[in-house]
Structure 1
Amino acid sequence: MNPTDSLPSEADTVVVGAGIVGCNLAYQLTKLGRDDVVVVDQGPMPTTGGSSTHAPGIMFQTAEEKILTKFANYSRELYSELEGADGRQAYNEVGGIEVARTEERMDFLERRVENGLAWGIEDPQILSPEEVGERLPLVNEEEIIGGYYSPTDGQVSGVVACDALAREAMDRGAQFVPHTRTEDVEFDGDSVSAVVTENGTIDCDEVVVATNIWARQLGEELDVHLPVTPVEHQYTMTEPLDELAEGAVDITDHPLFENYRNVSGEKAKRLLVGPDRPILRDQDNAMYFRTHGDAYGIGSYNHESIVPDPEELGGNDPDGEQGSVHEFTDYHMENATHPDRPDKAPRQASDELLPATAGKELEHKYNGMFSETPNGLPAMGPVEGYDGLWTAAGIWVTHAGGAGKALAEWMENGVPRLDDGPIDLAHADVNRFNAHEGSWDFARDLGAEEYRIVYNVMHPKWVWTDKQRDIRRTPMYHTHLEYGGEMWGEAGWEAPQWFDSNADLVAEYADRIPDREGWESVYWSPIEGAEALHVRDRVGLHDMTPFNKIEVVGSDASAFVQHLCTNDMDLDVGDVRYTLMCNEDGGVRADITVTRTDEDRYLLLTTGREVGNNHVAWVREQSPDSVVVNDVTSSLAAMVCTGPDARKVLSKVADADLSDDAFPFFTSQQFYVKNVPVTALRVSYAGELGWELYTPSEYGERLWEHVMEAGEEYDIRPYGNGALDILRIEKGFRLWGEDLHTEHNPYEAGLGWAVDLDTDFVGKEAVEAAAAGENVDHEVACLTLDDEEAMVMAHRPVLDGDDPIGYVHSAEYGYSVGACVAYTYLPPEYAEPGTEVEIRYEGDRYDATVREEPLLD
């Protein structure tokens, strides 16, 4: 590549960081037609000295997270199309093998196959030890009990890919400026106006922070507290091995070699050589391997977390040391320091698996840095409150191609997309973070924990146990503890999953609560089922304070709410309406209930949990100056009293007539519960008679006590999030972020009844097309398992024979239905009630049938 020698004075878009993410983004933006893109980096190009320079580039595509797999799959396809500076294909498709040394890991690898089928990976397979040995002859077959094989996995050099991407971007008009450290971003009001570098200022309209391990540093300069944490892991390369002698390669004539060596030193002779056999991962020992000609590369996460202070990270020094590389710590290779693997040092584990490496010198070795976020996913998208400021951090070489494509589409067309359609990035959105997550204490501890568990076998319901817990408490927190609440942490909130005080209900409903074994029994209690059944039969009280609550106020509030919402929002004061918010592409951005609380005031209620802040940011982004958008989540305590006896309970303490005539469904009133002021909504996410009660937070605990005391004679019980998920899925209520998201439009989601095409709203043109039958590629389908005692979990493939036709978005056992209920999206011809399909789960196949929804009415 030929970067420019001078800094331009202006540009439409400036990308800060010319690593694999910045180069991918510039490539995609220019492919979409932008020709005024400038990429700046503190290092040389294409070997900037960041993580892309030292990364060995292995690409295992399959992950539990859909977006990571989709990003990786797109990256593989893109890198396969790139021509390196030597004229060869940039991607080395040698296949990838993950081995198991334990039965627990073998079960995990079976889930790998199911995730691969669900997410569209080509031909994922389970291998016997002998089959692993056929593909990787140096592996000691006696050390393993099987493997997972993905034929299209492989490797790409970050430097080769950056160079190829940048050359094509420059051919389309982009400029790349090396040796230029970014010092600040200037704003005109809330809008980006310029990027300030050590070599001058670039006037611009947009800035993308794609600086990976340095993202937190730049964010702090802008008062944007990104929980992006640099962490270190080890990589080393052996001396030449006789067993690999035929693979010896002299790479010194490669066009990028001298550039690479100037930054990385002599290890460039190895790093620039692609593998000639499948890449290998031994997750039981948190290690990975690839060949470098006649040497083996050994990567290790198998040590205690090493988290450098972001303030102490420099750039590349004049002597050529990489800013993203620290000195190799031999101690961590020769000793067992990982808290979850205390019995075996990494070097021992490596030598056992690959005996040819035993006793061999480790010629090149270093601690390389990458970045982690609190949930292990990227931090990308437009930053709330700053028009024109975007982020793209926490992204590996493996995922950078897909992330760059999605972000470029987002910037240019308003919606993140890959070639096969829109992709929902709710769990990777930079705005998902809460205020406490910006603290260095939190980011450091959670980054270290994400590093610790990166290769562990993790259950999807696992929650942090001690690191950075007990941060946000609802007003009822101590009361929950008194009732034996099993507290789980999410978005900083401590929330009960079930209550041990309800254990007596298990015996009462024992004949309706099937036993569980295996993966689905972990982080589960039969109390969840008993609580759900009790709510259906009697009455329960649930703390819903963590659900996001947004207040919209102003003279143009009515017009703005209508602009946001798909339904007719011509509401009288006190009316409540269920509606959707869509993005420009017609994808469902959120489902909400809207209450008109006054002439110029509305209350919007939507999903909490990890994705709730995304909705707040979206509403604020859309709002005009004449409207004020307040996040009132923390200022209002919220609870729902629901069940057949809910009216009887509340009538004892409410100074209001709660009859159907006086208080109809989907209306709201303000009254007192004894001495506590409440705003009550006649709605219930549990799908039973009920009222949601909102009150200023300081009244929350007392309100809870009033309702519980009034319900004592009706055996009122508190119930947790586990029961709520059961209750809502039985009634067919969607959960945004799981079985409802931006990848599907309202008609695919079965929510066309919440759309009024006589109104104007964001995304209307696309929604109209869907209403006419266009872009309806899938339709929501409610499945029940034919085996009434069986249970499956989310993210497993739905099959027609051996062909995947969808995947399970969410699943819970429906105790009132008497079967496991699973929600999925299927091609329209499969979504008809009565259609028989199969779900693959934990290596078995379960017959399932599409049902008419709702299952309970």
Structure 2
Amino acid sequence: MTDLPQNARVVIIGGGVVGCSVAYHLAKMGWKDVVLLERKQLTSGTTWHAAGLIGQLRAGQNMTKLAKYSAELYKGLEAETGVATGLRQGGSVSAALTAERREELFRQAAMARAFGVPVEELSPAEVKEKYEHLNLDGVTGGVWLPTDGQADPANIALALAKGARQNGALIRERVKVTGLKRDGRRVTGVDWAADDGSDQGHITCDMIVNCAGMWGHEVGRMAGVNVPLHACEHFYIVTEAIEGLKQMPVLRVPDECAYYKEDAGKILLGAFEPHSKPWGMNGIPDSFEFDQLPEDFDHFEPILEAACNRLPMLAEAGIHTFFNGPESFTPDDAYHLGLAPEMDNVWVACGFNSIGIQSAGGAGHALSQWMDSGEKPFDLGDVDISRMQPFQGNKHYLFERSKETLGLLYADHFPYLQKRTARGVRRTPFHHHLLDNGAVMGEAAGWERANWFANEGQEREYQYTWKRQNWFGNAAAEHKAVRENVGMYDMSSFGKLRVEGPDAEAFLNYIGGGDYSAPVGKIVYTQFLNNRGGIEADVTVTRLSEMVYLVVTPGATRLADQTWMERHKGDFNVVITDVTAGEGVLAVMGPNARKLLQKVSPSDFSNDVNPFGTAQEIELGMGLARAHRVTYVGELGWEIYVSSDMAGHAFETLWEAGQDMGLKLCGMHMMDSCRIEKGFRHFGHDITCEDHVLEAGLGFAVKTSKPDFIGRDAVLRKKEEGLKTRMVQFRLTDPEPLLYHNEPIVRDGQIVSYLSSGNYGHTLGGAIGMGYVPCDGESPDQLLASSYEIDVAGIRVEAEVSLRPMYDPKGERAKA
């Protein structure tokens, strides 16, 4: 092993398909001194036993783009490297056994068209035409994706490894990383040891990439970063050769948790069962290499029984192989990619949730671009490692959540679907007050949040459907209360970052697009931009004192936003502290919000003393609080910040005072339906790091008169060049269909884009969507003069459009 270098630009840890892809793409970009270390043999962890399905449609446009890239890359690898990848694009059929699954598949088909993926909806008879061996009992429909296929997983990895070597990367097998040297927020080098104990050493490096698969959590701990994932057992069988079986497309029957792959005249039947078996709770054996786990036929038998009915030929075929191997799963079923928030040179690409083969090419491509430029090539929020909360690295939490996540791959992907496992970890100060009054909880970033409130005698649980769910009327009543009277809801889970120090004002003026040279008590709605003018964070900033500001962020992006601030702090003399848990927040919203607050506080809530966009210290009941006059629902209202010790008293005081006013407790579903009526953007859906702030319609929040801030030049350039796309609000003229997101936008008969978010507008009387429409060289009048439809599960529904908010376009209600 003495040929290992003493120095490297990057050390990649792990030689599965993802590690090989990262090495390949970095080397292809011209990076020198790329070193990949594999503890045993390439592909010997999970890659070697993967099913090798290549699906191109994912849940979002960018994830689909990466999956399509993977397929295109694998097509050319054999010619480039001489290693056969076995890629065969024979298409895939997904069959539905219920009306709900059929709607899900047809909505996915509509989404595929918007993303440029060839797709065809199928009747039951057409499903049979595509897959002749299928028993059609109970089949309600299906979809056909002709460019899907299958490949040889190990050979794809070996082809990528060879391509990496051809471009100068050094790949060494049987070399285990035994430790990492750290200096502050940087890894400085890697300790290694030969597998046979014959040699050991150290490589200094500029950065590392954790591609360790199911060892990723352990390697993350060595690097001082949190990589939440857990291994689960994954089962499949391979039949004996079936006489006369010709090449077949991949078949998925998600309602029976099963997928089928024909390979060399045999059938591979795999399962994503609803209750999975976590594995490796006490660590993965050091000797693990191409290992199989013990058979558990009892666990697999229900899947096999259903499969023999669905594919009768299986009942006659002998079982050649019963396989059980481990794969890693993350808490939300999305993989981990990007720069770890805790360190400044530790990159992560692992936790691929059984889609590693179809994702590896694109993930390696995206990560290498990010590493090379220092900026994300496009929005990767779905998989960015910074979305994971610190507590999610807890081993007990991961064990409990992993029981569910494997099965979620083939579960019905209903809107608003809530995880069942590993719940109740983070609770706001009002948690029991809300439960006592009928709250039905959802979960976001581990926080238990009231999503809606059940009526007396009503089942306090979700009943999922693609149509109106059981809480639709409850959310409508909450919506009506906020629009016409007064409602109260818990916003404590939103992130609160305290920025303080002599340079607090100068720092915020550099990192944010707004003007923070404001008087004490002023609230500034603003964005943190990147150098392309894309939106990295969507926040409010309140000046609490001369040297202290409070930055309020969405709960799910608190860590990412704090990390962005820390990485751009430079020489500014500021301290950034997460104080989220220190204060509870109750939003009091509606035309009678001022009347309610005047009942519980002697403070002055008039426009003269407390105008919109300002905060003031108040007395509340027998305690103290701080009232921020802002709104995310478009009504007169205040967000009441109260220290956690007084939170219970504040809730009881407001709730009791509101009883004779009809005060209604409200949930997050209400908040989202009100905000979309008002045209307020949702970070992560409507605005992301690749959406230019001007095209998002948020230019009013950017003050280019400031001399220097991140993104200023990009904003000025866009003003000169003109907008290529605009954020538009849509309302379906038919009040019945529902919108969620990703539905295609049809302009004058042609698909031009897709919705970034959707919900029902109870005041406007129809489903509301938001989305970007291309408009290069067009005036707003030209854009609005077209006819528009939204494709809902294959049915085009007429839509009204507006560039201004359809509800209260002048914003008069919030300033009343």
Query: Does the 8 A contact of 1:476 with 1:701 survive in 2?
Result: yes
Match 2:720 to one of 772, 775, 783: 772
Structure 1 stretch 81-90 or stretch 741-750: which is displaced more? 81-90
Q: Are the aligned partners of 2:534 and 2:693 in contact in 1 as well (CA < 8 Å)?
A: yes
| Runs of 4+ deviating beyond 6 Å | none
- The separation in 1 between residues aligned to 2:713 and 2:768, in whole angstroms, is 34
Q: Of the candidates 154, 157, 163, which is equivalent to residue 158 of structure 2?
A: 163
| SS of residue matched to 1:306 | coil
- The residue type paired with residue 382 of structure 2 is H
Counterpart residue type for residue 38 of structure 1: V
Post-superposition offset of 1:87: 6.0
For residue 814 of structure 2, what is the aligned residue in structure 1? none
Residue number in structure 2 paired with 1:844: 795
Q: 1:203 to 1:739 in 2, by over 3 A?
A: same
Aligned ranges for residues 709-748 of structure 1 at < 5 Å? 709-748=656-695
Residue 487 of structure 1 aligns to a residue in which SS?
strand
Q: In the alignment, what sits opposite 2:811?
A: none
1:7 counterpart SS class = coil
2:293 paired with 1:297: no
Equivalent of residue 111 in structure 2, options 115, 138, 146: 115
Asked if the contact 2:13–2:212 (Cα under 8 Å) also holds between the matched residues in 1, the reply is yes
> Equivalent residue of 2:740, what SS?
coil
Mapping 1:215-614, distance limit 5 Å = 215-244=216-245, 276-302=247-273, 304-315=275-286, 321-323=289-291, 325-333=292-300, 335-336=301-302, 346-395=303-352, 396-417=356-377, 422=378, 424-465=379-420, 467-500=421-454, 519-522=466-469, 524-608=471-555, 610-614=556-560
**Using a 3 Å threshold, how does the CA distance of structure 1 residues 790 and 353 change in structure 2: closer, same or farther?**
closer
1:341 — aligned with what?
Answer: none
In the aligned structure 2, how far is the partner of 1:517 from the partner of 1:368? 32
Report how many residues are paired.
Answer: 788
Please report how far the alpha carbon of residue 118 of structure 1 lies from its aligned counterpart in structure 2 after TM superposition: 3.1
CA apart distance, 1:120: 2.6
**Residue number in structure 2 paired with 1:95:** 91
Distance 1:713 1:767 in 2: 50
SS in structure 2 at match of 1:574: coil
Shift of 1:629: 0.8
Per the TM alignment, residue 169 of structure 1 is displaced from its structure 2 partner at its CA by: 2.0
Please list the CA deviations of residues 112-158 of structure 1 after superposition, one character each: whole Å capped at 9, or x if unmatched: 2123123331x211223443444434334557443311011011222
Query: CA offsets, 1:455-487, max 9 Å, x none?
Result: 11131201124x222222211112112221122
**Residue 671 of structure 2: SS of its match in structure 1?**
helix
Aligned counterpart, 1:131: 126
Structure 1 residue 720, shift from structure 2 partner: 1.3
SS at match of 2:27: helix
- Distance change (3 Å), C-alpha of 1:456 and 1:26: same
Cα displacement (A) at 1:310: 4.7
Counterpart contact for 1:143–1:353, Cα < 8 Å: no
Give the equivalent residue in structure 2 for 1:193. Answer: 188
The one-character-per-residue Cα deviations of 1:780-810 (angstroms, maximum 9, x if unpaired) are 0101111244432222212236642111221
| CA-to-aligned-CA distance 1:796-843 (integer Å, 9 cap, x gap) | 212236642111221222222223211111112597335321112133
Unmatched runs of 5 consecutive residues or more in structure 1:
248-275, 337-345, 505-515
Answer whether contact 2:341 2:560 (CA < 8 A) is retained.
Answer: no
Please tell me the residue identity of whatever aligns with 1:704.
F
SS of alignment partner, residue 688 of structure 1: coil
TM-score under structure 1 length normalisation: 0.87
1:426 and 1:611 in contact (8 A); partners too = no
Q: Which stretches in structure 2 are left out of the alignment for 5+ residues?
A: 194-199, 809-816
| Alpha-carbon separation, structure 2, partners of 1:471 and 1:733 | 30
- 1:342 corresponding residue in structure 2: none
Query: 587-596 or 662-671, which moves further after superposition?
Result: 662-671
Compute the displacement of 1:547 (Å): 0.8
Counterpart Cα distance in 1 of 2:412 and 2:274: 16
Structure 1 residues 789 and 36, CA, compared in 2 at 3 Å: closer, same or farther? Answer: same
Q: CA deviation at 1:228?
A: 0.3
CA contact under 8 A between 1:81 and 1:90: conserved in structure 2?
no
Alpha carbons 2:499, 2:548 under 8 Å: kept? yes
Does residue 806 of structure 2 align to residue 855 of structure 1?
A: yes
After the TM superposition, which residues 694-705 of structure 1 pair with which residues of structure 2 at under 5 Å, given as runs? 694-705=641-652
Residue identity in the other structure for 1:817 = L
CA distance in 1, matches of 2:650, 2:190: 52
Is 2:48 the partner of 1:53? yes
Paired residues of 1:503 and 1:527 also in contact (CA < 8 A): no
Quote the Cα distance in structure 2 between the aligned partners of 1:69 and 1:365: 32
Secondary structure class of the residue paired with 1:593: strand
Alpha-carbon offset, residue 727 of structure 1: 1.6
Q: Identity percentage over the alignment? A: 32
Once the two structures are superposed, residues 599-641 of structure 1 have per-residue CA deviations (whole angstroms, 9 ceiling, x without a partner) of 1111011212x33332222222222362211111111111222
Q: Distance in 2 between matches of 1:381 and 1:503?
A: 47
User: TM-score, with normalisation over the residues of structure 2?
Assistant: 0.92
Specify the SS of the correspondent of 1:816: coil
Q: Distance in 2 between matches of 1:574 and 1:142?
A: 66
Instruction: Provide closer, same or farther for how the CA distance between residues 712 and 356 of structure 1 changes in structure 2, counting only shifts above 3 A.
Output: closer
Q: 1:579 to 1:623 in 2, by over 3 A?
A: same
- Relative distance call for 1:753 and 1:502 in structure 2 (3 A) is farther
Larger deviation, residues 112-121 vs 184-193: 112-121
Structure 2 counterpart of 1:108, which letter?
E
Partner of 1:684: 631
Q: Is the CA contact 2:487–2:664 (under 8 Å) kept in the aligned structure 1?
A: yes
| 2:274–2:404 CA contact under 8 A, matched in 1 | no
Report deviation, 1:518: 5.8
Paired position in structure 2 for 1:12:
9
Contact 1:49 1:316 (8 Å CA) reproduced = no
Amino acid at match of 1:283: P
Structure 1 residues 502 and 655: alpha-carbon distance in aligned structure 2, compared to 1, 3 A threshold: farther
Change in Cα spacing, 1:229 to 1:89, as seen in structure 2 (3 Å) is closer
Match status 1:214 vs 2:215: yes
Q: 1:38-94, CA deviations, whole angstroms, 9 ceiling, x for partnerless residues?
A: 11111223xx30211111211122233444433212211221221265565653211
Q: Report the secondary structure of 2:694's partner residue.
A: coil
Q: Does 1:633 align with 2:596?
A: no
Task: State the alpha-carbon separation in 2 of the partners of residues 152 and 555 from structure 1.
Answer: 58
TM-fit CA distance, 1:553: 1.1
Tell me how far apart the structure 1 counterparts of residues 37 and 601 of structure 2 sit (CA, whole Å). Answer: 63
Q: Aligned partners of 1:304, 1:539: CA distance in 2, in Å?
A: 43
Displacement of 1:502 = 9.1
User: What letter is aligned with 2:51?
Assistant: P
